[in-house]
């Protein structure tokens, strides 16, 4: 059993709930990273850079800890769709995604005492054609503006999709647990 503390560099309730599934004690800490400062990168590079920055920021404050940082972006071609932040912006994002295939890129970085482990998960998401009324009804019911791409796949958002192709379903929610479990074993945690 690892004696070092485990810290999730996130305030996301979605990532917290996912990590709880591994039944390893951990704490959550806000990474305090300005995500807007990294806006010009390609989608996979942006997700990886933000995950690394979040892990590094928390590891600096907790030098003995094993720190997990994660980030997720929606890539529509080379365009990155982040968190909408408002109902109208969510309607606009979903309008852009409707009837198209996009990529959900989830990056995770685990750091401990100068050692870094990283992983990027890519999931192809095919959204069905949606009317404006369907989009507005979904946004009104789910209030998804705190999620990349403006949908919550773990909830009502699943009704927006025709197909999902990927290796780890937990990556869609925000933290690829199969990869995280592998990393934690490498860092000395008993999983399971």
Query: Tens digit of pLDDT for each residue in 72-105?
Result: 999 998 888 888 999 999 999 999 999 999 999 9
Chain CA centroid to CA 54, Å = 12
Residue 2, pLDDT above cutoff 70: no
Query: Tens digit of pLDDT for each residue in 9-60?
Result: 999 888 999 999 999 999 999 998 877 666 677 888 999 999 999 999 999 9
The predicted pLDDT at position 35 comes to 72
Q: Tell me the backbone φ, ψ of residue 162, rounded to 5 degrees.
A: -100, -35
Can you name the CATH fold of 6-186? Maf protein (3.90.950)
The predicted pLDDT at position 41 comes to 78
Look-up: residue for tokens 């932040």?
A: 85
The predicted pLDDT at position 37 comes to 67
Give the whole-angstrom CA distance, residue 64 versus residue 59: 8
The predicted pLDDT at position 148 comes to 85
The predicted pLDDT at position 192 comes to 84
Residue 1, pLDDT above cutoff 80: no
pLDDT band (50, 70, 90) for residue 160:
very high
Give the whole-angstrom CA distance, residue 28 versus residue 50: 17
The predicted pLDDT at position 186 comes to 93
Query: Tens digit of pLDDT for each residue in 98-151?
Result: 999 999 999 999 999 889 999 999 999 999 999 999 999 999 999 998 888 999
- For the entire predicted model, the pTM comes to 0.88
Indicate if 71 belongs to the active site.
yes
Q: Of residues 71, 140, 146, 190, which has the active-site annotation?
A: 71
Give the whole-angstrom CA distance, residue 27 versus residue 115: 20
Closest listed residue to residue 107, CA positions, set 34, 53, 26: 53
């Amino acid at each position: 059993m690892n004696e070092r503390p485990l810290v999730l560099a996130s305030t996301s309730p979605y990532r917290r709930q996912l990590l709880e599934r591994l039944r390893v004690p951990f704490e959550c800490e806000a990474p305090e990273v300005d995500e807007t400062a990294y806006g010009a990168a390609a989608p996979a590079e942006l997700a990886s850079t933000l995950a690394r920055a979040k892990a590094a920021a928390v590891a600096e404050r907790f030098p003995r800890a094993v720190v997990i940082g994660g980030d997720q972006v929606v890539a529509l071609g080379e365009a990155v769709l982040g968190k909408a932040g408002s109902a109208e912006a969510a309607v606009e994002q979903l309008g852009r995604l409707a009837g198209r295939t996009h990529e959900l890129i989830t990056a995770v970085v685990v750091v401990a005492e100068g050692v870094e482990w990283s992983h990027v998960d890519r999931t192809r998401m095919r959204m069905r054609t949606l009317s404006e009324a369907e989009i507005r009804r979904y946004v009104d019911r789910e209030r998804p503006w705190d999620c990349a791409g403006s949908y919550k796949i773990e909830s009502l958002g699943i009704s927006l999709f025709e197909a999902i192709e990927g290796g780890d379903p937990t990556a869609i929610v925000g933290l690829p647990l199969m990869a995280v479990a592998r990393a934690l074993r490498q860092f000395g945690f008993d999983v399971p």
